[in-house]
Chain A
Amino acid sequence: MYKIVKRDQIADNIFEFWINAPHVTKTGRAGQFVVLRIDENGERIPLTISATKGDDVRIVFMATGKTTQQLAAMQVGESIRDVAGPLGKPSDVKKWGRCAVIGGGVGIACLPILARELREAGNDVTGIIGARNEGLLLLEDELRDACDELVICTDDGSKGHHGYPADVLKEMVSDQILDAVWIIGPAIMMKITSLATFDSGIKTFVSLNPIMVDGTGMCGSCRVTIAGEMKFACVDGPEFDAHEVDWDELMNRQRTYTGQEKESLEHYHEHKCHCGDHQ
């Protein structure tokens, strides 16, 4: 059992949890994730390690479906049945030179830990974050502190640059020398944003989020195609070269259980009202 030591809502429908999990924090690095299971009836879901402090790991998630909504309803002092990790390979942190770290939506949560590690390795780091509107932006102060420079974008212009991180990246690519780029967010955002560096050949990493079960390389659910080869995102990734990813395949596979995910959420809401506890 892994205790929730702190919990906050940090943006519209986005939550920050600190969970006591010393086995994760001991070696957990940027780019890695945990797999958690709330209770005996729960599914296993992957969530990125957003920060660590002592024995506590931070996760930031959007309450979209059954599991994340159930998680969002949990309180400080309650425990999560299982937290496994750290899983996946750490980000390729070394001295690149000038780096840009780009986050879309809840993917922004992955940036502070990455920016800090990159700066410690002697890089100059620009952060670019984007969300549909101001209410969905998160971790701004923390990121301003972690990066050398921070650019904010909103689709509706409610804050910062009116437009997408891709526009900002495009300008950076033509203006100055960039040595490495990380893009983390929804698949479609990563696909489109990474087009900005395609011609320049700038090393561009994306963190893939296919559907996972074990997260240890045992089931093959998370298989993705990278440069024509099959890889397991949970052990070979989750970060890969953006320009080698088969995006359509990834997005198709992400939609595999759309119908059942809806059913699961409805079932949760029905039962929640009757018994209060979904056991």
Chain B
Amino acid sequence: MNRRPVEERLQDFDEVATGLSEQNAVLEALRCMECPRPLCVNGCPVSIDIPGFINAIANEDFRKAAHIIKQDNMLPAICGRVCPQEAQCQSTCILGKKDKPVRIGALERFVADWERENGVETPETAPATGKRIAVVGSGPAGITAATECLRAGHEVTIFESLHAAGGVLTYGIPAFRMPKDIVQFEIDQVLALGAELKLNHIVGRSVPVDELLAYDAVFIGTGAGLPYFMGIKGERFSGVYTANEFLTRVNLMHANKFPEFDTPLIRGSRVAVVGGGNVAMDSARVARRLGAKVYLIYRRREEDLPAREEEVANAIQEGVEFVCCANPTRILGGPQVQGIKCIRMEMCECDESGRPVPRACTEAGSTFTLDVDVVIEAIGQGPNPLLAGLIPDLKRGKRGTIEVDEDGRTSIPHVFAGGDIATGAATVIWAMGSAKKAAAAINKMLAEN
């Protein structure tokens, strides 16, 4: 991926990865062997016809390429940017065995960006059915479900508790990775199909449960927004943020432009981010852009980091200092943060997922302290408990997820769920894939009765 130079990108929140030029996209597309049994497709959670759209790029028919992708993926401009491609479609591309895999994600992004600039084809919609569907949450899952139901001719109302649509794409993933005008463009597409979007509506409160259940069908896509805490001493000090709070203050509320925007934020001159996933990388890179020296504390080894490779590389380039095989044991200070105490971790035998189990070292001298004034906890999020907990008879899984079958059906016949609320924190493409299946099941159910 081509990236803007580090010195330049640390000064702003503009996109880091630059797209492919038309010429380079065609050259890259020509590398694809158009395998008759394409392995790449197995790696894509929504089974896009990858050789099909790449062939259209090679023939310089970008409109057709967009058409092919959109049969399976309504949000290519987003997935082309944030899908963990190296672990999905590109990991199974046959060319990857000897050489570099085809850059499928970059090509997908190219096509989506081309289409946005050259005019999007509005998908055809079936005649109005008069059936009403409620979609709860406007993240990738909600947007996808809404689109599919609108295409089937149903009336769709999307409820969103925040003042802006998009879910994590809006409040979580920073603009330098997911430009907000692109998110807005995708949302506008759904609205253009006739969706009604009700912001500031918390379903379960503004919309009571009985009113929700009165719709002909309901899709719940409320996400995994519940932040977890480490449970160590000092977490209540001023200057300790969850990644959700830190990222929301910046991405949704624009605290980086305080006082022009009202929302305050402790910027911190030295920041410790705890965690090793995409959320941790995003927090660390935002903190770097706010001018802080940033440590990223992760309990396993660098090669175990669960974040996308590209994002780890970006974070390293941008000067984030990785402190691996270490775990915080307490936050020092009070009432403000003054430091974070950590213990070294050793890697022991692997667990069933094949990752080594980290265990705290016991020998003397295994603890150390980092001098920081802000701590950001990015150790994971659970399913949003609010609405799921208010609906009687809705069956929930072990960790608070909503239980669904393969088609997204819940224990209540006309209620469906998809995305992070059903799977636990996952990815954009998984959220979309599950929402698409649920919407298909909704459309089938409504066609039958």
- Residue among B241, B261, B262, B263 with max Cβ neighbours from chain A (10 Å): B262
| A120 in the interface (beta carbon within 8 A) | no
Instruction: Report yes or no: B227 in contact with A218, Cβ–Cβ below 8 A.
Output: yes
Q: A24-B206, A218-B225, A220-B227 are in contact. List 17 more A-B contacts (CB 8 A).
A: A23-B200, A26-B208, A41-B260, A82-B163, A84-B163, A84-B199, A84-B201, A85-B200, A86-B202, A217-B386, A218-B226, A218-B244, A219-B248, A220-B229, A253-B236, A261-B264, A264-B262
* Contact string against A for B residues 198-233, beta-carbon threshold 8 Å, 1 for contact and 0 otherwise: 111110011110000000000000000111010000
What is the chain B residue whose CB lies nearest that of A67? Answer: B262
Sorted from nearest, which 9 A-B pairs have the closest CB atoms?
Answer: A260-B264, A252-B335, A43-B262, A219-B245, A84-B200, A256-B238, A267-B259, A218-B225, A82-B163
Contact B263 A43 (CB under 8 A): yes
Contacts of B239 in A (CB 8 A): 256
Inter-chain contacts of B226 with A (CB < 8 A): 217-218
Contact between A42 and B262, CB atoms less than 8 A apart: yes
CB distance from A99 to the nearest CB of B (A): 25
Are A37 and B163 interface neighbours, CB within 8 A? yes
B63 on interface, CB distance cutoff 8 Å: no
B83 beta carbon closer than 8 Å to chain A: no
Partner of A218 from B236, B248, B264 at Cβ < 8 Å: B248
A56-91 contacts to B (CB < 8 Å): 66-67, 81-87
Task: Check B335 against A219 for contact (C-beta < 8 Å).
Answer: no
Kindly state whether residue B384 has any CB partner on chain A within 8 Å: yes
CA distance A218 to B139 in the complex (A): 14
Contact A249/B262 with A44-B253, A87-B202 known, Cβ cut-off 8 Å: no
A225 adjacent to chain B (CB < 8 Å):
yes
For chain B, which range describes its interface: under 10, 10 to 19, 20 to 34, or 35 or more residues?
Answer: 35 or more
Q: Given the complex of chains A and B, what is the CA–CA distance between A261 and B265 in angstroms? A: 10
Q: Bits for B384-412, please: 1 = Cβ < 8 Å to A, else 0.
A: 11100000000000000000000000000
Q: Residue of B at shortest CB range from A263?
A: B259
Question: What string of 1s and 0s marks CB contacts (under 8 Å) between B156-174 and chain A?
Answer: 0000011100000001000
- A-to-B contact residues, CB < 8 Å: 23-24, 26-27, 32, 37, 41-44, 66-67, 81-87, 213-214, 216-221, 223, 225, 230, 235, 249, 252-253, 255-257, 260-261, 263-264, 267
Which residues of A have CB within 8 Å of B249?
213
CB distance from B191 to the nearest CB of A (A): 17
Contacts of A257 in B (CB 8 A): 264, 266
Which residues in B have their C-beta under 8 angstroms from that of A267?
A: 259-260
Partner of B386, one of A41, A66, A235, A256: A235
CB contacts (< 8 Å) of A66 on chain B: these are 262
Question: A41 near B236 (CB under 8 angstroms)?
Answer: no
Residue in A81, A87, A249, A260 whose CB lies within 8 Å of B236:
A249
- Name the CB-closest residue of A to B223: A218
B236 touches A220 (CB 8 A): no
Cβ–Cβ contact A253 & B238, under 8 A: yes
Q: B237 — nearest CB in chain A belongs to which residue?
A: A252
Q: Decide if B242 is an interface residue (CB 8 Å cutoff).
A: yes
B185 within 8 A of A: no
Contacts of B206 in A (CB 8 A): 23-24, 26-27, 84-86
| Chain B residues numbered 236-284 whose CB sits less than 8 Å from any CB in chain A | 236-239, 241-242, 244-245, 248-249, 253-254, 258-266
Residues of B at the A interface (CB closer than 8 Å) are 161-163, 171, 198-202, 205-208, 225-227, 229, 235-239, 241-242, 244-245, 248-249, 253-254, 258-266, 334-335, 384-386
Q: How far, in angstroms, from A41 to B163 measured CA to CA in the complex?
A: 12
Residue of A41, A81, A252 touching B238 (CB-CB under 8 A): A252
Q: Using Cβ atoms and an 8 Å threshold, which residues of chain B touch A253?
A: 236, 238, 335
Contacts of A86 in B (CB 8 A): 202, 205-206
Residues of A within 8 A of B335 (CB): 252-253, 255
How many whole Å from A37's CB to the nearest CB in chain B? Answer: 6
Smallest CB gap from B201: residue in A: A23
Once A26-B208, A84-B202, A264-B258 are accepted as A-B contacts, the answer to whether A220 and B253 lie under 8 Å apart by CB is no
23 contacts between A and B (CB under 8 A): A23-B200, A23-B206, A27-B206, A42-B261, A43-B262, A44-B253, A44-B263, A84-B206, A87-B202, A218-B171, A218-B227, A218-B248, A219-B244, A219-B248, A220-B229, A220-B244, A221-B245, A252-B334, A257-B264, A260-B258, A260-B264, A264-B258, A264-B259
Provide the residues of chain A in CB contact with B261, threshold 8 Å.
Answer: 41-43
- Complex Cα spacing A252 to B237, Å: 8
Distance A68 CA – B241 CA, assembled complex (angstroms): 25
Q: Which of B264, B266, B335 has the most CB of A within 10 A?
A: B264
> What is the minimal beta-carbon distance from B163 to any residue of chain A, in angstroms?
4
User: Is there an interface contact between B262 and A214, defined as CB atoms closer than 8 Å?
Assistant: no
How far apart are A251's CB and chain B's nearest CB, in angstroms? 9
Q: Which residues of A contact B238 (CB under 8 A)?
A: 252-253, 255-256
B245 cross-chain contacts in A, Cβ below 8 A? 213, 219-221
Residues of A within 8 A of B386 (CB): 216-217, 235
The distance in angstroms between the C-alpha atoms of A66 and B244, with both chains bound, is 25
Q: How far is the CA of A32 from the CA of B206 in the complex (A)?
A: 11
Query: What is the CB-to-nearest-CB distance from B154 to chain A, in angstroms, rounded to a whole number?
Result: 22
| Shortest distance from the beta carbon of A265 to any chain B beta carbon, whole Å | 9
A260 and B249 alpha carbons, distance in the complex (Å) = 14
> What residues of A have a CB within 8 angstroms of the CB of B264 in the complex?
43, 257, 260-261, 264
**Which chain A residues border B208 with CB–CB below 8 Å?**
26-27
Q: Which residues of B contact A81 (CB under 8 A)?
A: 163
Residues of A within 8 A of B248 (CB): 213-214, 218-219
Given the complex, which residues of A lie within 8 Å of B265, measured CB to CB?
260
Give min CB distance, B229 to chain A, whole Å: 7
A252 to B254, CA, bound (A): 24
* Most B-side CB within 10 Å, residue of A27, A86, A219: A219
Q: Please state if A84 and B263 are interface contacts (CB–CB under 8 Å).
A: no
Contacts of A44 in B (CB 8 A): 163, 253, 263
CA A257 to CA B266, docked complex, whole Å: 8
Output the residue of A218, A221, A230 with the most chain B CB within 10 A: A218
Kindly state the separation between the CA atoms of A15 and B337 in the bound complex, as whole angstroms.
37
Complexed CA–CA distance, A67 and B263 (Å) = 10
Is A83 in contact with B200, judged by CB distance below 8 angstroms? Answer: yes
In whole Å, how far is A15's beta carbon from the nearest beta carbon of chain B? Answer: 18
In the bound complex, what is the Cα–Cα distance between A256 and B268 (angstroms)? 13
Inter-chain contact A230/B262, CB cutoff 8 Å: no
Known: A249-B236, A256-B238. A217 touches B384 (CB 8 A): yes
